[in-house]
Amino acid sequence: MPKKFLKRFMPDHRVIREHRHLRIFGTLLHDPNLFHLNRRSASGAFANGLFWAFVPMPLQMLPASLFAIAFRVNLPLSIALVWVTNPFTMPPLYYFCYKVGSWLLDVPVQSIEFELSLHWLSTELSRIWEPFLLGCFVVGAISALLGYFGVRGLWRLHLIRHLQHKKRERELRKTFENKP
């Protein structure tokens, strides 16, 4: 994993601990795993952030941060990954979740014309909430698993390549030292 690349975008842990709005967490933010980038912390953050990204609720960052603290995974990465679902990506992703839920429940997909109003929420959403929420949970769980194992696999692949590169360097150095 490009650890140096990700670290450039990570906030300083002291700034987060001393932030006036985050003081309510007290010493919970003092755990070093919340800000370290290692294979366990990053893969757990991907799983946490991607799962909460597909939960259709406002302020998804709050439960993502609470679960990051509870599971002691990278907090900034968990919060950043929640933004996979943003105002631009929400409609297609949530429609996909609805289609997955409809497929799982064996219910025909209904044509939906989205409208941001209370009338739409009370009429249209009441017809599709079961396949929609099931699809969100299933897609969230699958994306969390793929993110977790994908990051662990990529991290391991990067480590293996790094070790092979170091081994080649040692062998080259050894051959040049043995030459007269």
What's the domain range around 52?
3-178
Neighbours of 17 (CB within 10 A): 17
* Crossing angle (nearest 10°) for helices 39-53 and 118-178: 160
Q: How confident is the model at residue 76 (pLDDT cuts 50, 70, 90)?
A: confident
Q: What is the pLDDT of residue 138?
A: 93
pLDDT tens digit string along 20-49?
A: 656 666 666 666 667 777 888 888 999 999
Task: Please tell me the total count of domains within the chain.
Answer: 1
Name the nearest CA neighbour of 38 among 161, 164, 179, 156. Answer: 156
Task: Give the tens place of pLDDT for each residue, 82-134.
Answer: 998 888 888 888 889 888 898 988 888 777 776 667 777 677 777 788 888 89
Task: Give CA–CA dist 12/5, Å, rounded.
Answer: 15
Q: Tens digits of per-residue pLDDT, 126-164? A: 778 888 889 999 999 999 999 999 989 998 998 899 899
* 1: confidence class by pLDDT, cuts 50, 70, 90: very low
Residue 153 has which token pair? 């696999």
CB atoms within 10 A of CB 51: 27
